[in-house]
Structure 1
């Protein structure tokens, strides 16, 4: 059994950890409100913008009106924008979205160019790629993965200027025919207790039609196309309008995914720190009880020693 001094040391350590987790919970609680407001305020606009993009793409006939609308029947390589956090201590937030993205890549069976947003995702993907390349039984498409760009330390309240470098990277990859499709893997904010990992088809701007049910279950459903009911009129011309609108609307989808992920990260960290604080308090109470028992045992042993010494003196006398 550990001594009272050893138990006291453990109690002090647990209490120090409890102070840290309480502080992190308070920071996340204040950050999640701002992130939540930003994500919720722009979500309706982003959803309608995405619906407009898909419907415009569906109305194109023959030569596409914009390069971002170009559909390539033979998909040789894809890009995945993976959004995670820069820090841990957020429960399963980072591992859940990375696992979702990896499962999608394994099911889609195409070489991948990764664009990572957040250090945690970058590190996990880098290790996964290294394991695949070292595995002689891994499929060829998994060995051909690479990280082409990485972004970290983005502002707590991102805007379109902050996601412009990310958008520019995937635009170049797609327009140069380096990749034929682009996806975003992010975490959709549902509520404080629930965050849902999602994979969103971004480029080309068309309804995603997966080749299997397994892929369909992994990719977020595309908006419904309303060819018979919605006709878009362009002034001065479709080319002039789309040249400006399509890149901006695409950037908006990236921004919304980033805001959803930030809300999810802060919520997950707040809940994880709350659970850690509760566990630390419970452990501290258990250790305090054990410490009191150890002290009582030590006091009892000392009393018995004193009684034994007195009896020994009486016998000598």
Structure 2
């Protein structure tokens, strides 16, 4: 049975851990709030960008564009977006499991794999799976220029014919306690046309084809940026929830340890009193 000193040390240890989990929850909550605000701000730009491209689609300008053209699906590439750190519940494990299931569809061929985030990279590196590219340690300073760099590499591999299709596996933010794993085709581009009618008398200056050539890269970069932002927001929500649960569990553990300590202390005092009374009786006898 544990001694009173060992129980006191255990209580102090759990309290120390609880302080850490509470601090991590506060940090995650602050990052979540900031990331949510950024996510909301991206929506109007994303909608207007897609609307402009949709109007150009109706004019038949994208039919022969290489980034829209479907090819025989011989070489597939998956881009897995995980977190750089753990302590966020099953966030990373669920993403990796989904990526493994996707890759297994093409066995015995091993599809191309790119990883964004340390956890996904570490998992596949330990299993000696070939990784075409990996990007880590930038979610705390996530910006559009990072998305441009990664998306530019995907576009180059696609246009060079190294891959025929690119999918992104990431977590979409729903609520603080809910994320949805999404496997989305990134290349070739799949645009859902807007149902609203094209404004009458719309003129394009310069030529619509030049506008399309300018808008497409921006659309691709921004689409990936939004995916990364969704994933980061979902990660902060998952970490905040996990740390809140850990703090609550620590509180219950501390309560149980204090009860156990009090019972052990009471038993020790009772034992000492019994020994004293027994000794006194022996002296009188």
Residue 8 of structure 2 is aligned to residue 24 of structure 1: no
The residue number in structure 2 matching 1:84 is 82
Q: Is the 8 A contact 2:114 2:132 kept in 1?
A: yes
TM-score, length-scaled by structure 1: 0.81
The residue number in structure 1 matching 2:135 is 151
Q: Is the 8 A contact 1:54 1:206 kept in 2?
A: no
Q: Structure 1 233/199 Cα, relative in aligned 2: closer, same or farther at 3 Å?
A: farther
TM-score, length-scaled by structure 2: 0.89
4+ runs of 1 displaced by more than 6 Å? none
1:4-83 alignment runs, 5 A limit: 4-47=4-47, 49-50=49-50, 53=53, 56=56, 60=60, 64=64, 66-72=65-71, 74-83=72-81
Gaps of 5+ in 1: 131-144, 208-222
CA RMSD of aligned residues (A): 2.5
Residue 214 of structure 2 is aligned to residue 244 of structure 1: yes
Q: Structure 1 75/196 Cα, relative in aligned 2: closer, same or farther at 3 Å?
A: same
**SS of the counterpart of 1:146?**
coil
The residue number in structure 1 matching 2:256 is 286
In structure 1, C-alpha distance between the alignment counterparts of 2:197 and 2:125, rounded to whole Å? 46
The residue number in structure 2 matching 1:99 is 97
**SS of the counterpart of 1:68?**
coil
| More moved, 111-120 vs 267-276 | 111-120
Q: Is the 8 A contact 2:56 2:62 kept in 1?
A: no
Matched residues, number: 282
Q: Structure 1 241/61 Cα, relative in aligned 2: closer, same or farther at 3 Å?
A: closer
The residue number in structure 2 matching 1:138 is none
Q: Is the 8 A contact 1:58 1:206 kept in 2?
A: no
Q: Structure 1 281/63 Cα, relative in aligned 2: closer, same or farther at 3 Å?
A: closer
The residue number in structure 2 matching 1:218 is none
In structure 2, C-alpha distance between the alignment counterparts of 1:183 and 1:54, rounded to whole Å? 22
Q: Structure 1 94/14 Cα, relative in aligned 2: closer, same or farther at 3 Å?
A: same
Cα shift readout 1:195-251 (whole Å, capped 9, x = no counterpart): 1111111111136xxxxxxxxxxxxxxx3575x955996543343222221111100
Q: Is the 8 A contact 2:139 2:232 kept in 1?
A: no
The residue number in structure 2 matching 1:301 is 271
Gaps of 5+ in 2: none
The residue number in structure 2 matching 1:134 is none
